[in-house]
Chain A
Amino acid sequence: GSQVKRNAHHLHAVGKGDPQVYAGKAGKPAFGVGDRVRVRDELPVLFYTRTPEYVRGATGEIAAVAYESPAAEDETWDIPEAAPEWFYVVRFTMADLWDGYPDTATDTLQTEIPQHWLRAAS
């Protein structure tokens, strides 16, 4: 059993937590709270993504600059050189996501999106 390759992740994250273990590794966040952003819809999603289909191409607003972490699309394949990036909580208006969303114009939805999925909305 001692010859089994261990999950290196445990060793580097002990005492820090995940995603805290990546703190300070993504540089300066490109977006701040209140910025309007558009979720990219041209990125391929072969095999894995965590950016929901229902927000692709939609415009929302940064509700929180959340934490730094490698993207799930890299972590899921255990790619060691994956660079940490900023994750944001993005707030969307329901009526912008769903055609014919009923009368309640103020309803919103929030979801977390990594920076490489976002572009500034004009």
Chain B
Amino acid sequence: MTDHDHPHDHQRTVAPMVDEITDFEVLEVALRELCIEKGIFTAAEHRRFTEFAEQIGPTPAARLVARAWLDPEFMALALAKPLSASKAVGVDWMEPTGFGTPSDFTAFRILADTPTLHHVIVCALCSCYPRPILGNSPEWYRTPNYRRRLVRWPRQVLAEFGLYLSDDVEVRVQDSNQKQRYMVLPVRPPGTDGWTEDQLAEIVTRDTLIGVALPKVGVTTNVITDTRPAVHPIAQQP
């Protein structure tokens, strides 16, 4: 049989976007199709979760902090009833299942920094993260390196992020090892008098909500750490 015994139109065939499909992708498709075939979940449910995961991000959390800075009553609500405060910035922790996401739960806590207390969050056991209000966790947050070292050498790790805290500031590491998820409410930085909620929300980056950075006037993106070049780069290996 020749190449052209089959009916499809080569002109209209979409070329693959990669040269090779990885084992991971083969297994992902196999698992998903089997689950749908067996009725464990439907294709529509898979799509719904994917779309939920694609619309989450750190914006609502930043807005929550900005509003708390401007409104002492909202600050009190955020600390006493964090689920209600989340709703006020458009995040319903009961989504998308009606009982929360299966892995983030509905026990959210906000840790308020003070001039003498700084919180930083980790999940030493895996990568637990307040995804409904903060989006997906950064890659480094999931690494064994961060998980192993933050609980023991927090000041060293924070220094690598460019955050140096003096000894009169208590560093408090929060390990989220059970059902509660945490976010940091940093101290409002100097130089922001008279700022609007939008202006304030802009300097509350994801990193400041994890606790590896402090909000700073003029800084609206996450920390980029200086990394040393590899000692044995892959290209030079025999």
Q: Is A2 an interface residue (CB 8 A)?
A: yes
A107 touches B180 (CB 8 A): no
Whether B196 is near chain A, meaning CB under 8 Å from some CB there, is no
Knowing A4-B40, A17-B99, A107-B171, say if A52 contacts B107 (CB, 8 Å).
no
Segment 104-126 of B: residues with Cβ below 8 Å from A? 105-107, 109, 124-125
Asked if A114 and B178 sit within 8 Å, CB to CB, the answer is yes
Contact between chains at A112 and B180 (CB < 8 Å): yes
When C-beta atoms are compared, the residue in chain A nearest to B168 turns out to be A106
Chain A: interface residue count, which band? 35 or more
Q: How large is the interface on B (under 10, 10 to 19, 20 to 34, 35 or more residues)?
A: 20 to 34
By secondary structure, the B interface counts as loop
Greatest chain B CB density within 10 A among A2, A14, A109, A113 is at A109
A67 to B83, CA, bound (A): 14
Cβ of A107 and Cβ of B99 under 8 Å apart?
Answer: no
Question: Within 8 Å of chain A (Cβ to Cβ): is B192?
Answer: no
Asked if B174 CB lies within 8 Å of chain A CBs, one says yes
Given contacts A102-B155, A104-B155, contact A14 B97 (CB under 8 A): yes
| Interface presence of A28 (CB below 8 A) | no
Say yes or no: A50 contacts B173, CB within 8 Å.
Answer: no
Chain A residues with CB under 8 A of B171: 94, 104, 107-108
Query: Which residues from A are CB-within-8-Å of B42?
Result: 1
B188 vs chain A, min Cβ distance (A): 23
Cα distance, A60 to B155, chains bound together (Å)? 21
Which listed residue, B97, B100, B178, touches A112 by the CB 8 Å rule?
B178
How many Å lie between the Cα of A114 and that of B180 in the bound state?
12
Contact partners of A50 in chain B: CB under 8 A: 125, 177-178
Within the complex, which residue of A67, A101, A111 is in contact with B107, where a contact is CB–CB below 8 Å? A67
CA of A108 to CA of B179, assembled, Å: 20
A-contact 0/1 string along B30-53, CB 8 Å cutoff? 000000001110100000000000
Q: Mark A81-122, 1 if CB is under 8 A from B, else 0.
A: 000000101010010011001111011111111100000000
The CA of A59 and the CA of B138, in the complex, are separated in Å by 32
CB pair A108–B98 under 8 Å, yes or no, is: no
Some 23 contacts from A to B, beta carbons below 8 A apart, are: A1-B42, A3-B39, A10-B98, A14-B98, A14-B99, A17-B99, A17-B105, A18-B99, A19-B105, A50-B125, A52-B175, A66-B180, A67-B179, A69-B179, A94-B171, A101-B152, A104-B170, A107-B155, A107-B171, A108-B173, A109-B151, A109-B172, A110-B175
